[in-house]
Amino acid sequence: MSSALISPDAPLATPPALPETPARAPGHRDPGSVKRAGAAIGPFLWRIAKPLVAIIAFLALWEIAPRVGLVDEVFLPPFSTVIGAVVDLSQSGELWKHVSASLSRALIGFSVAVAVAIPLGIAIAWYRPVSDFLNPILELFRNTAALALLPVFILILGIGEESKVALVIYACTFPILLNTISGVRTVDPLLIKSASSLGLSPLRLFQKVVLPAAVPTIFTGVRMAAASSILVLIAAEMVGAKAGLGYLITASQFNFQIPNMYAGIVAISILGLTINAILVLIERRLSRWRV
């Protein structure tokens, strides 16, 4: 029994030494980390390049088709010729004059529509008496095309800026209004009941639960309205204006300056894409709670 005990004077057994890890050179990189970084960069680059593939193919077809005789080069110039026209118009300052005229009209009308349609849509969706009172007149006007009312706006407000801005307001109001109503009314009832059980007042309930949940649907309408503001305004500028992208396109067609006409169309596309990208960033900022 005593042989199993360790004497106080007996030295303790030393554990075996672990093999030393060789020191790495300052510039050495772990092959495994390099592989993982490469595997992560590949999908990231493809995610960026994938949306550009269709656009690049379309522009290549646009460049090649007139040069090989698939279409008449007089009526559809190559894309490089159109880009040259864009550069010339930009250097002369004419393009910025037309873009600024169209952009100012569109932004004024769009801003007024947002300021009016979102509160009105919230009131219609949240309060039944307001909905019962306004629904008949809204159903009447929302089924009337904006461009059909262009002569009416011109007769009442004249051919100046007021009629064009009013047309943009009318065209933008209904997409925002209808999507706001839909967004507020389709909030998950379970969320509302859960928040109510916590003792939130109606104002805090709307502020903290209903409005954040409705933001994605509201912004769908806002983005649709932004596209409508540009399209309707261009049509209005083609009828009567002295500046604007619609005027540039029509005047270039009448003067048979076909590259300038396509330059105006390209400018409209770039303007629409820019506005949509800004609205998407704002939407993501306001709906950070979404996964």
What is the per-residue DSSP string for 11-46?
Answer: PPPPPPPPPPPPPPPTT---HHHHHHHHHHHHHHHH
**Which is higher by pLDDT, 160 or 166?**
166
Check whether 90 has a pLDDT greater than 80: yes
Mean of the per-residue pLDDT values of the chain: 80
Both tokens of residue 65?
């088709």
Residue 15 pLDDT > 80:
no
Assess whether pLDDT exceeds 70 at residue 9.
no
- The residue that leads in pLDDT, 12 or 255, is 255
- Residue 156 makes CB contacts below 8 A (sequence gap 6+) with 163
pTM summary value: 0.74
Contacts of 106 by beta carbon, 8 Å cutoff, 6+ apart: 168, 229, 230, 233
What Cα–Cα distance (Å) separates residue 272 from each residue in 49, 152, 163, 263? 21, 27, 22, 14
Taking Cα atoms as reference points, which of 216, 224, 230, 219 lies closest to residue 109?
Answer: 230
Confidence band of 176 (pLDDT split at 50, 70, 90): very high
Nearest to 150 by CA among 136, 166, 137, 127: 166
- Confidence label for 158 from pLDDT (cuts 50, 70 and 90): confident
CA 50 to chain centre: 18
Q: Residues 91-110: what's their mean pLDDT?
A: 89
pLDDT at 136: 82
Encode pLDDT of 257-274 as tens digits: 899 999 999 999 888 888
Per cent of the chain over pLDDT 70 is 84
Nearest 10 degrees: CA dihedral of 55, 58, 64, 65?
Answer: -160
Longest dimension (CA), the chain: 118
Per-residue pLDDT at 19 exceeds 60: no
pLDDT for the residue numbered 33: 54
Residue 228: name the closest of 175, 178, 152 by CA: 175
Give the least confident one: 118-122, 140-144, 245-249: 140-144
Residue 290 has a pLDDT of 61
